[in-house]
Chains A and B, each alone.
Chain A
């Protein structure tokens, strides 16, 4: 069975500082990995995904994540955060051929001025 662990429930950080949101997964099969972001009172939006190929994936708004198979991790990073990045971030995993996406518990990123 697959599972996703987000190690931090909340991450407070000052504006323009770097941030890392941690995600570990467990699965016995090939997986696809996702980061979704949820702004207050909204649905989830895909931030980035790893399906195959290059282990470093980037989003259009400066986030990146690196798939590390040996450490079963898919941590999300941004070198300089903005106030507008304040949101809930969910790491998710689905297996190849699976119908389900399993979400982690979420990490609340709070960017302070």
Chain B
């Protein structure tokens, strides 16, 4: 299984809602990533987890809260988002972070719209 899955595919939420994005991989990868991608832009790194520990937080606002319950799962909890947070949220995994073989496998993304 060389797939990264993400749910839901689409999410519409109000600014007062609380929601979560879910990402799963079963490739035995020990590094997982969250990216935010605005239209016609490259992915911007948000968080990196390595061996289930948060290794990088790219100064992301606290209304985004990542969680790595186990080596296969990565969640992104959303609360009190702003309309400018609307974007495609991509999850990725790699065998290890900080290693030569850090080719990343991406999920299809969750298209988030904040009203």
Contact = CB atoms under 8 A, between A and B. Distances in A.
B45 A100 contact: yes
A34 B40 CA distance: 19
A60 B91 CA distance: 24
A46 B95 CA distance: 14
Interface residues of A, number: 25
B56 interface: yes
B108 A42 contact: yes
Interface stretch (B66-74, B78-86, B99-107): B99-107
Contacts of A100: 45, 48, 56
Contact of A45 (B50, B100, B101, B106): B106
A59 to B, nearest CB: 13
A98 B103 contact: no
Given A99-B48, A99-B98, A105-B41, A43 B107 contact: yes
A100 B92 CA distance: 12
Nearest to B9: A41
Contacts of A49: 103
A91 to B, nearest CB: 9
A32 B104 contact: no
A97 interface: yes
Nearest to A48: B103
Nearest to A103: B42
A44 B99 CA distance: 20
Interface string A49-82: 1011000000000000000000000000000000
A108 B102 CA distance: 25
A99 B50 contact: yes
Q: Which has the most chain A C-beta neighbours within 10 Å: B42, B55, B98, B108? A: B42
A44 B43 CA distance: 9
Contacts of A103: 42-43
A41 B10 CA distance: 11
Q: Which are the 4 A-B pairs with shortest beta-carbon distances? A: A43-B106, A103-B42, A44-B106, A99-B97
